[in-house]
């Protein structure tokens, strides 16, 4: 067997293992050089009920990988003198308004996520509606002073593209990029007319609690979209042509499809930071990661690489182009967009194809005492807490045949790691929230957190958050498929927003910091622009809250 065949065999085994232990029904892995395809591996199921296998013809929503196409389009328009990237966005969208204490941000600030806008405003499905109602929100910091990933920023950029060309964005992206790149099977929007060509997207069947290994999946909510934060649908081979263009620095099949100047700006004008790297891997090889004008520029084991992930409702994707070593990776999956399996597979493929043997953690999610990344000896022992009304709660973490188990109330449950720094258990009394382990607290011994509970070796009495906190504590829902529900809990005198999962939902417990009565910053970072506003109170309970323009109502479930 050739070295490529050996690596292909390893990748197929890895992908198949992911389908067994993670919520990933199927997908496709493709590796390319500037000039050719090195390997192409469809795996798993495109339709679980029909037992239909993934093929190279299936479409996947590529999510935020679309942002690179937006950046390239605007760089082309700038070369043609139709836009100035350093002009305020209101130059092209005079109707636009947003609350701010700072000068209006420019197109360049939007491109590299340094405009100070919230991550997203998913209360409306259309571009101009989301853009218009930003006037009810505010920016969090001076343009250019920090990096804060913002989907709504790219929605505004799509509106700029349409305004300056006088054409719908779908027509612009098809004519300027998809056609020249030879991406004939791809689509510049997610539309019902193409639905039959898609691999079915999946999400956990239950959205109100963390996903557990073996839990059921269900078809994810389907909806049409043309918003430029994540509008493109592509087949694996088509997206591989985009990656080949990246490897060729704008050259593809002997033609210049992106000018040298535009390509240099795409990857060279950088924000202070970049997208977060998957926590599941200890050895990513990433030495530096900053954001360009639609794509991450990373240094991986000394090589100049370009990357981007894509998270859609029912689809999770990742691309990596190593320009120094002429290797590119495409991974498309029909897992929900908050599952980073595509990124893990892509980074493993890149390491193997460039001659690096990285140690992958176990793909099985059982918390194993030999897993040096996920397990700490301090996690074991007896912990207790008092609930909101003062009742004691006792929990024991112990090892059974190398696996961590949780015992409470005479019942034992398995403890599982997740792809983040959180944990879950199948113990029925601890199914609602993730578990988190905090090092260095409780006299340096560490302790567990679970929803409102601080589980410590020496527990303190429950500390409430006052009248306001008791009024807003509860479970809230909206009809947004991106971020369906969350809970507000009071823990240790602080209010926390905790989501069980979701494409745009936070992957950690976030503190709610009150800025003025009834208005909270979501997260401890002082520059975070996300806000949660309490609604009316009926019978001493807040009945609704507004998260960045999206209204959630108190639901009947705990």
Tell me how far apart the alpha carbons of residues 401 and 456 are, in angstroms, rounded to a whole number.
25
Query: Are the CB atoms for 337 and 314 separated by under 8 Å?
Result: yes
Question: 306 forms bridges with which residues in the sheet?
Answer: 297, 321
Q: For 355-367, what is the mean pLDDT?
A: 93
60-69, 249-258, 398-407, 459-468: least confident range: 459-468
Calculate Rg over the CA atoms of the chain. Answer: 24
Confidence class for position 443, pLDDT limits 50, 70, 90: low
Question: pLDDT digits over 43-80, tens only?
Answer: 999 999 999 999 999 999 999 999 999 999 999 999 99
Among candidate residues 545, 438, 32, the one with its CA nearest the CA of residue 241 = 32
Query: Is 458 buried (19+), middle (13-18) or exposed (0-12) by CB count in 10 A?
Result: exposed
- CA quadruple 369, 374, 377, 382: dihedral sign: negative
pLDDT at 464: 44
Confidence class for position 558, pLDDT limits 50, 70, 90: confident
Question: Which helix H or strand E contains 163, and what residues bound it?
Answer: helix 151-165
Question: pLDDT digits over 311-329, tens only?
Answer: 999 999 999 999 999 999 9
May I ask the CATH class of domain 466-554?
Answer: mainly beta
Among candidate residues 349, 340, 424, the one with its CA nearest the CA of residue 24 = 340
Mapped to the 3 state alphabet, what secondary structure does 40-92 carry?
EEEEEEEECCCCEECCCCCEEECHHHHHHHHHHHHHHHHHCCCCCCCCEHHHC
**DSSP assignment, residue 421?**
S
Residue 188, phi-psi category: left (phi > 0), alpha (psi -120 to 50), beta (remainder): alpha
pLDDT at 247: 98
Measured distance between the N- and C-terminal CA atoms of the chain, rounded to whole angstroms: 56
C-alpha triplet 185, 125, 234: angle, nearest 5°: 15
Asked if residue 527 has pLDDT above 80, the reply is: yes
Q: How many CB atoms lie within 10 A of CB 1?
A: 8
pLDDT at 525: 92
Q: For 490-501, what is the mean pLDDT?
A: 96
Token look-up 């479930």 returns 557
**What are the phi and psi torsion angles at 244 (to 5°)?**
-65, -35
Question: pLDDT digits over 102-131, tens only?
Answer: 999 999 999 999 999 999 888 888 899 999
Q: How many CB atoms lie within 10 A of CB 342?
A: 30
pLDDT at 123: 80
Tell me how far apart the alpha carbons of residues 533 and 360 are, in angstroms, rounded to a whole number.
42
Mapped to the 3 state alphabet, what secondary structure does 387-410 carry?
CCCCCEEEEEEEEECCEEEEEECC
Tell me how far apart the alpha carbons of residues 354 and 45 are, in angstroms, rounded to a whole number.
29
pLDDT over 90 for what percent of the chain?
89
Token representation of residue 534: 């309490």
Q: For 342-358, what is the mean pLDDT?
A: 96
Q: For 74-98, what is the mean pLDDT?
A: 98
Token look-up 């390997």 returns 39
Question: pLDDT digits over 449-491, tens only?
Answer: 999 999 999 876 554 444 457 899 999 999 999 999 999 999 9
Query: Are the CB atoms for 240 and 48 separated by under 8 Å?
Result: no
Asked if residue 140 has pLDDT above 80, the reply is: yes
Asked if residue 165 has pLDDT above 90, the reply is: yes
Asked if residue 433 has pLDDT above 90, the reply is: yes
Token look-up 């593209």 returns 161
pLDDT at 24: 99
**To the nearest whole number, what is the mean pLDDT of the chain?**
95
Q: How many CB atoms lie within 10 A of CB 133?
A: 16
Query: Is 95 buried (19+), middle (13-18) or exposed (0-12) by CB count in 10 A?
Result: exposed
Question: Which helix H or strand E contains 13, and what residues bound it?
Answer: helix 3-21
One DSSP character per residue, 472-526 reads H-EEEE-S-SSS-EEEEEEETTEEEEE-S--SSS-SS-EEEEEEETTEEEESS-T
Question: So where are the chain's domains?
Answer: 3-65+185-353, 72-165, 377-455, 466-554
**What are the phi and psi torsion angles at 409 (to 5°)?**
60, 30
Token look-up 């258990």 returns 425
Q: For 223-235, what is the mean pLDDT?
A: 97
Q: How many CB atoms lie within 10 A of CB 483?
A: 23
CATH number of 3-65+185-353: 3.40.710.10
Query: Are the CB atoms for 18 and 28 separated by under 8 Å?
Result: no
Among candidate residues 372, 360, 349, 241, the one with its CA nearest the CA of residue 300 = 349
Count of residues making up the chain: 558
Tell me how far apart the alpha carbons of residues 52 and 200 are, in angstroms, rounded to a whole number.
10
Token representation of residue 86: 């350093």
Residue 60, phi-psi category: left (phi > 0), alpha (psi -120 to 50), beta (remainder): beta
Question: Which helix H or strand E contains 164, and what residues bound it?
Answer: helix 151-165
Query: Are the CB atoms for 445 and 455 separated by under 8 Å?
Result: no
Q: How many CA atoms lie within 13 A of 106 on its CB side?
A: 12
Q: Are strands 233-234 and 251-252 parallel, antiparallel or unpaired?
A: unpaired
């Amino acid at each position: 067997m050739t070295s490529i065949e050996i690596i292909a065999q390893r990748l197929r085994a890895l992908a198949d293992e992911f389908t067994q232990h993670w919520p990933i029904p199927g997908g496709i892995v493709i590796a390319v050089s500037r000039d050719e395809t090195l390997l192409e591996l469809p795996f798993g199921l495109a339709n679980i009920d029909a037992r239909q296998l993934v093929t190279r013809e299936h479409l996947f929503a590529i999510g935020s990988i679309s942002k690179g196409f937006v950046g390239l389009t605007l760089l082309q328009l700038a070369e043609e003198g139709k836009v100035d990237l350093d002009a305020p966005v209101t130059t092209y969208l005079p109707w636009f308004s947003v609350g701010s204490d700072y000068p209006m941000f420019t197109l360049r600030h939007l491109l590299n996520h340094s405009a100070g806008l919230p991550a997203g405003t998913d209360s409306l499905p259309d571009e101009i509606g989301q853009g218009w109602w930003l006037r009810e929100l505010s920016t969090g910091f001076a343009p250019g002073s920090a990096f804060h990933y913002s989907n709504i920023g790219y929605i505004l950029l799509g509106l700029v593209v349409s305004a300056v060309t006088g054409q719908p964005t779908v027509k612009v992206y098809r004519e300027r990029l998809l056609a020249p790149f030879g991406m004939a099977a791809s689509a510049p929007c997610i539309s019902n007319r193409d639905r039959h060509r898609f691999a079915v997207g999946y999400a956990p069947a239950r959205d109100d609690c963390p996903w557990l290994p073996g839990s059921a999946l269900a078809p994810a909510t389907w909806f049409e979209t043309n918003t430029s934060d994540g509008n493109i649908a592509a087949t694996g081979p088509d997206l591989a042509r985009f990656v080949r263009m990246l490897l060729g620095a704008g050259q593809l099949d002997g033609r210049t499809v992106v000018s040298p100047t535009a390509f240099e700006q795409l990857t060279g004008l950088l924000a202070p930071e970049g997208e977060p790297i998957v926590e599941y891997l200890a050895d990513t090889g990433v030495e530096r990661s900053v954001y360009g004008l639609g794509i991450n520029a990373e240094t991986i084991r000394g090589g100049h690489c370009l990357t981007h992930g894509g998270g859609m409702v029912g689809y999770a994707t990742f691309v990596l182009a190593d320009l120094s070593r002429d290797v590119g990776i495409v991974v498309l999956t029909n897992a929900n967009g908050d599952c980073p399996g595509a990124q893990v597979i892509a980074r493993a493929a890149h390491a193997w194809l460039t001659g690096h043997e990285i140690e992958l953690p176990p793909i099985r999610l059982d918390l194993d005492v030999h897993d040096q990344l996920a397990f700490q000896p301090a996690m074991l022992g007896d912990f207790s807490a008092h609930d909101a009304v003062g009742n004691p709660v006792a929990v024991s973490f112990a090892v059974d045949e190398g696996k961590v188990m949780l015992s409470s109330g005479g019942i034992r449950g398995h403890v599982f790691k997740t792809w983040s720094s959180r944990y879950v258990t199948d113990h029925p009394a601890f199914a609602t929230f993730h578990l988190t382990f905090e090092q260095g607290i409780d006299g340096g011994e560490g302790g567990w957190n679970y929803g409102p509970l601080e589980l410590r070796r020496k527990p303190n009495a429950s500390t409430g958050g006052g009248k306001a906190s008791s009024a807003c504590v509860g479970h809230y829902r909206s009809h947004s498929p991106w971020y369906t529900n969350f809970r507000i809990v009071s823990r240790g005198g602080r209010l926390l927003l905790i989501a069980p999962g979701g494409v745009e939902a936070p992957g950690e417990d976030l503190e709610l910091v009150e800025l003025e009565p009834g208005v909270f910053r979501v997260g401890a970072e002082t520059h975070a622009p996300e806000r949660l506003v309490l609604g009316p109170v009926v019978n001493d309970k807040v009945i609704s809250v507004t998260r960045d323009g999206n209204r959630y109502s108190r639901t009947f479930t705990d």
